[in-house]
Amino acid sequence: MGRSATLRSVGPSGAPGAGRAKGDDHVRPQAAATAHRRAEFGRQRLAGATPRQVLGAVGVEASALTLTGLLLGTAAGAAGAIPFIMVRTGQVLPGEGPGSWPAVVTVAVAVTLGTTLGTTRTTPRTQAVDAVAVAT
């Protein structure tokens, strides 16, 4: 069994991916991309950045990524939901109010920042010279 076999998830029906949670499509690539930047973080440390500064820089990047995703996701969701609501109810906005949007925002922020910062926190624990040596 290769490395790809360990990441494959098979659900009760036997279909690949059927047992995966929906959020895995976002969390795994985000964690892998952050962990892959170990050499970059090592170079920043060699240039004089503290682990806290590296974590802060990644936090700013993750915040920008989250904000962009929320803005574009909200626009895409509205572009699909408003025509549907207009056809079904004759109104532009649903009568229930935007109650689910704050929940989606909360989950998106928690997953993106939690994954990125959690992965980044463990990376600077490696000595800077060792992190750069592994990548070259």
What does the pLDDT read at residue 134?
Answer: 58
| Per-residue confidence (pLDDT) for residue 25, from 0 to 100 | 58
Span 2-28, pLDDT tens digits: 444 343 444 444 444 444 454 555 566
Q: Identify any residues that bridge with 10 across adjacent strands, giving them in sequence order.
A: 16
d(CA 71, CA 110): 16
Helix (H, G, I), strand (E, B) or coil at 66: helix
Q: Which two tokens stand for residue 132?
A: 């750069």
Say what percent of the chain tops pLDDT 70.
67
For residue 72, what pLDDT is reported? 95
- Averaged confidence pLDDT in the chain: 75
CB 55 within 8 A of CB 117: yes
100: burial class by Cβ within 10 Å (0-12, 13-18, 19+)? exposed
Residue that wins the pLDDT comparison between 95 and 42? 42
Q: How confident is the model at residue 76 (pLDDT cuts 50, 70, 90)?
A: very high
Most confident stretch, 18-22, 29-33, 123-127, 131-135: 29-33
Taking residues 33-42, what's their average pLDDT? Answer: 77
Distance separating alpha carbons of residues 121 and 52, to the nearest angstrom: 9
Query: What is residue 10's three-state secondary structure?
Result: strand
